[in-house]
Structure 1
Amino acid sequence: MKTCVMSFCNQKGGVGKTSTTALVSYNLAKMGYKCLTIDFDPQANLTSLFIKTKSKYSSSVTPIKTSLMTAIKNNIDFSQITIPVIDNLDLIPNASDFFLYSRFLENTFNNEAERVQYLADKINTDLRNKYDFIFIDVPPTFGLANDSAFYACDQLVIVLQTQERALDGAKVLVNYLQSNLIDEFHSSVDILGILPVLSKRNAQVDTEILNSAIQEFGLENIFSSHIMTMERVKRMDITGITDGKTDIWDKRTHKAYIDVAKEILERLGVKE
């Protein structure tokens, strides 16, 4: 299949973007698709989660020799800094020095268009066609750094936790993408859909927010697969991704993200 660069996003923090990135990419890899995740957040939560996950399958400690910002500053080929997590799943790690990224773009390029297009050019040169999926895990902010990440994407999935502020954040993000990236920089990025994250099945507030999202974005743009807020996902932040074949909670957790992965393939028109 043709490489798809994708990001799960919302401008409100704590909606499950990093967990979704990790568990969808993990399960796509288990399905046989070659996946890369790029940690684009200086908090490096995805890096931490995947290093812990890798340690579960390896007897040795995994050192991070080159972080994303080091590769950018020294013009190192991104393919040289990937860390294998499991079969078919690689990570480009990040660290706290990534807060310098916007300053790097401003000091290196003379105009805004070149700054916004930098990451897309780097991915196209170093990584595209080496993977089926490339996921960019971004922080919940507006600004030059995320502009360059979204510009590099082919598809975005808006993660909508069923809270009023998350819905407002989704609306603002859609308007921002249209006015800033598409209208100003002629980005070809598309929104694959809205992925609901429910706090409690059949809860009244969840239902009301979901109905509002349907009215705002259209039923066809809402994923039929829903993610529930799950304690097992929170535990994985501490332990790394667990995948016990006889553990009912692991099985239920992965089933939810497998369903999302399959719907992504369906929406992209990819036959499993």
Structure 2
Amino acid sequence: MTAKILTFANFKGGVGKTSTTALVSYNLAKMDYKCLVIDFDAQANITSLLLKTKSNNDGIITIDKTLMSALNENLNLKKIVINIATNLDLIPNAVDFSVYPRFLENSFDNEIDKVTFFDKKIAPLKEDYDFIFIDVPPTLSLLNDTAFYACDQIVVVLQTQERSLAGAEVFIQYLQETLINEFQSRVDILGILPVLSKKGARVDEEILKSAIEEFGEDNIFDKKISIMERIKRMDMQGITDDPKDMHDRNVNKVFAEVAQEVISRLNK
């Protein structure tokens, strides 16, 4: 099987993309799917989260090579993969990734060569995994264009706030006009994943209604994510999965269901 390459994204920050990427990949790995997470953000939040997840069991982890150092040295990216848990691997990042756009500008003259670079770079990884997730920053930029171009599917994460809905609309329009129309990317939208601020809140219901009107009910994930305090703790301390802990069970159950819906939508 060749890996499906996905990203959870939105033009607006703070919508839970990184936690969603980490927890969906973690729960897919528990279902015996081989998953790789690529950190594509110089802030390296998902690198931190997943290394803390690993260190909860294995102690302090050190990084020998980052994504940017591997690109500078033209290394096969397989050489910098870090195993986090059974079936779950990470390509780590760090602040040095802030020079990636300059690296592209200095390496290529043509825009199409810049945009397609990372797609070619990760091609050898596809044979080793069922899923590859790229965790991107909340920007529209050449940096993200190279990540989105490499993807088969994008899940738009929609926090049920007006600005997030507007961000989703701008983001989808940008993908269509730039990546698909201009660069003939294969990328498609797998669906819109709502992140609710509070179950039953009126603003959530209104934004969801507007999203259904804008994108169509079939394009909205059946599974909705509610903001939970345990997710915030996992962001700081790593993913925990204690079967005796009700909060751990609840969080992982939700994201296992999201993972199942990702699989079912891919199989449609």
Q: TM-score, normalised by structure 1?
A: 0.97
1:144 maps to: 142
1:185 is paired with a residue whose SS is coil
1:33 maps to: 33
1:24 maps to: 24
Structure 1 residue 33: Cα displacement:
0.2
1:6-39 per-position Cα deviation (integer Å, ceiling 9, x unaligned) = 0000010000000000000000001100000000
Q: How far apart, CA to CA, are the structure 2 residues paired with 1:237 and 1:167?
A: 24
Q: How far apart, CA to CA, are the structure 2 residues paired with 1:239 and 1:188?
A: 36
In the alignment, structure 1 residue 79 sits paired with structure 2 residue 72: no
Q: How far apart, CA to CA, are the structure 2 residues paired with 1:101 and 1:114?
A: 14
2:247 to 221, 237, 249: 249
Q: How far apart, CA to CA, are the structure 2 residues paired with 1:159 and 1:143?
A: 18
1:190 maps to: 188
1:204 maps to: 202
2:42 is paired with a residue whose SS is coil
2:13 maps to: 13
For residue 114 of structure 1, what is the amino acid of its counterpart?
D
Q: How far apart, CA to CA, are the structure 2 residues paired with 1:137 and 1:203?
A: 29
- 5+ residue gaps, structure 2, are none
1:92 maps to: 91
1:68 maps to: 67
Q: How far apart, CA to CA, are the structure 2 residues paired with 1:3 and 1:222?
A: 24
Q: What's the Cα RMSD here?
A: 0.8
2:105 maps to: 106
In the alignment, structure 1 residue 230 sits paired with structure 2 residue 234: no
Q: How far apart, CA to CA, are the structure 2 residues paired with 1:216 and 1:131?
A: 34
Q: How far apart, CA to CA, are the structure 2 residues paired with 1:199 and 1:48?
A: 25
**Percent sequence identity over aligned pairs:** 59
Structure 1 residue 2: Cα displacement:
3.2
1:206-238 per-position Cα deviation (integer Å, ceiling 9, x unaligned) = 000000000000000000001000100000122
For residue 24 of structure 2, what is the amino acid of its counterpart?
V
In the alignment, structure 1 residue 46 sits paired with structure 2 residue 40: no
1:35-68 per-position Cα deviation (integer Å, ceiling 9, x unaligned) = 0000000000000001100011214x21100000
For residue 6 of structure 1, what is the amino acid of its counterpart?
L
1:81-104 per-position Cα deviation (integer Å, ceiling 9, x unaligned) = 000000100000000010100000
2:75 is paired with a residue whose SS is coil
1:261 maps to: 259
Superposition pairs for residues 101-180 of structure 1, below 5 Å? 101-124=100-123, 126-180=124-178
1:265 is paired with a residue whose SS is helix
Structure 1 residue 117: Cα displacement:
0.1
For residue 70 of structure 2, what is the amino acid of its counterpart?
A
Q: TM-score, normalised by structure 2?
A: 0.99
For residue 213 of structure 2, what is the amino acid of its counterpart?
Q
Flag as ranges the 4+ runs of structure 1 deviating above 4 A: none
Q: How far apart, CA to CA, are the structure 2 residues paired with 1:166 and 1:114?
A: 31
1:169-194 per-position Cα deviation (integer Å, ceiling 9, x unaligned) = 00000000011110100001000000
Aligned residues: 268
2:126 is paired with a residue whose SS is coil
2:257 is paired with a residue whose SS is helix
